[in-house]
Amino acid sequence: MNKAMTVYPVIVDSLLSNPGIGFTSAPGLMDDIGDVFDNRGEKKEKYKFTQDSRTYNHPDSKVYFCSARWRDIEIAKGVFRWEVLEEKLEYAKSMGCTAVVRCSPYALSEEDDIPEWFRAESPEEPDFPFWRVDPETTRYVEYWSDFIKAFAKKYDGHPVISSIDLTIVGAWGEGGGTEFLEPEAIQCITDAYLDGFKITPLQALLHDPLSMKIITDRKAKVGFRVDCLGDMGGFHGKRWSHMTDFYPQNIQNFKMENAWEKAPILFEACWHMNDWYIQGWDIDYIIQETLKWHISSFNNKGTIVPEPWKDHVKQWLNKMGYRFELRKFTYDAEVEAGGNLDIAALWANVGVAPIYNRYPLVLKLTSNKQTYTLYSREDIREWLPDEDIAWEESFSIPSDVPAGEYHLEIGIETGVHEIGNVKLAIDGNKDGYYEMGKLLIKGDQ
């Protein structure tokens, strides 16, 4: 009988920057930037969330919002300059970030128009304020769907992309006027996304009941994004706000209350967090609502977090997205080369959402001379919050592994060196791996 060793890792409550979750990065506040100003141009005292933070007046991040225009990529019908998007993904990777990607069909200004070749074919612009081309009287639906199909073929499963915005119509792809489209038009575009992206997670704007019904009727794994988080009455005073009169009701009405189990929930600030502070809005209420809705990441538009809210935001970050605690780890301390290493462990996801990218859980065996990596069959995307996660698995030790003593480490790998491994909420992080103890591998007797 093999000798079993049990380890109880030390749980930590420190801030963890992890791929695909947390605040969207703020490059303008990183490193040595001189003075710091709020979104209204007022100079603020510098502070950091942790002693070794790279970012001032804003938490560090491992997720970057990456937007690309249709006109810049599809320069002629069926001719694509994917290097436009590649450069943005390389920039995200250089910062150690995964990317939330949105390809937008157009925006409001002439320089953000539809592609030139499409404009030459359809010179008239509609009166509707959020459209630059009429999707009902032109070939917009066909052309945009073709673009999405090409986009998916090129980028589904890309290791830097953590999720993709499902954009249908409207300025910046934010959905303005979706409710006026025929169901067949919405179906054509959403099918292009749902049929094309089988690996990379998607999120759709929580905009209108029709598009949400088309998506949910397919039982698709699609999360949602909203772009006016924090509004507690900035448009209509106490009579109406997004936080009390739109989001709570329509997450339920649109049947998206369980979408978080399979795909991410993303939020963007209405105005800026500093505006919330000046208005005196209740940050604790805003935070608790997002946690109830299973938030994964928050786009603060690269602007500062008011310093009096620093501790509120720390608590928010420790619940936002996934957060994995390894509470108990039992393993065979002695195994034969060519034999099996049995593992039994207890995990907890103490965040409010799963992880949505299938990063492998690995064991690493390291001696003075060699390293061996053993890949688990466990799908960590199934580790939902508020559930005990019992993990048991038997790993085959290659017969050619030299006998001797090894360090046994555990980690979750992203496969991208610049992004690094997923950090666990336990002590002992060493380049993204956590040592569980010593392992003796025996050779032939």
CATH code of the domain covering residue 343: 2.60.40.770
Residues 301, 329 share a domain:
no
- pLDDT at position 444 over 70: no
**What token pair was written down for 20?**
């695909």
Please count the structural domains in the chain. 2
* Per-residue pLDDT tens digits for 36-73: 999 999 999 999 999 999 999 999 999 999 999 999 99
- pLDDT at position 1 over 50: no
Residues 367, 225 share a domain:
no
Which H helix or E strand runs over 331? strand 324-332
- pLDDT at position 184 over 90: yes
Residues 240, 202 share a domain:
yes
pLDDT > 70 fraction of the chain, expressed in percent and rounded? 99
Q: What single-letter DSSP state applies at residue 398?
A: P
**What token pair was written down for 153?**
């073929």
Residues 334, 204 share a domain:
no
Residues 29, 10 share a domain:
no
Beta bridge partners of 151: none
User: Over the range 274-291, which residues count as b (16 or more CB within 10 Å of their CB) and which as e?
Assistant: bbbbeeebebeebbebbb
Question: Which of the listed residues 317, 346, 370 is the one where a domain comes to its end?
Answer: 317
Q: What is the CATH number of the domain that holds 287?
A: 3.20.20
Residues 100, 189 share a domain:
yes
Question: Which of the listed residues 293, 317, 341 is the one where a domain comes to its end?
Answer: 317
Output the pLDDT for position 238.
87
Report the pLDDT averaged over residues 115-136.
Answer: 93
Which H helix or E strand runs over 313? helix 310-317
Residues 385, 357 share a domain:
yes
- pLDDT at position 445 over 60: no
Residues 219, 358 share a domain:
no
Q: Residue 298: which domain range?
A: 22-317
Residues 416, 307 share a domain:
no
Residues 88, 103 share a domain:
yes
Residues 74, 26 share a domain:
yes
β-bridge pairing 371-375 and 361-366: antiparallel
Q: Measured between alpha carbons, how far is 43 from 58 in angstroms, rounded to an integer?
A: 15
* Per-residue pLDDT tens digits for 3-40: 889 999 999 999 999 999 999 999 999 988 889 999 99
* Per-residue pLDDT tens digits for 376-429: 999 999 999 999 999 999 999 999 899 999 999 999 999 999 999 999 999 999
Roughly what angle, to the nearest 10 degrees, separates helices 183-196 and 209-217?
50
Q: pTM of the prediction? A: 0.95
Amino acid at 428: G
Question: Which of the listed residues 286, 317, 348 is the one where a domain comes to its end?
Answer: 317
Residues 244, 113 share a domain:
yes
**What token pair was written down for 18?**
């992890």
In angstroms, the first-to-last Cα distance of the chain is 16
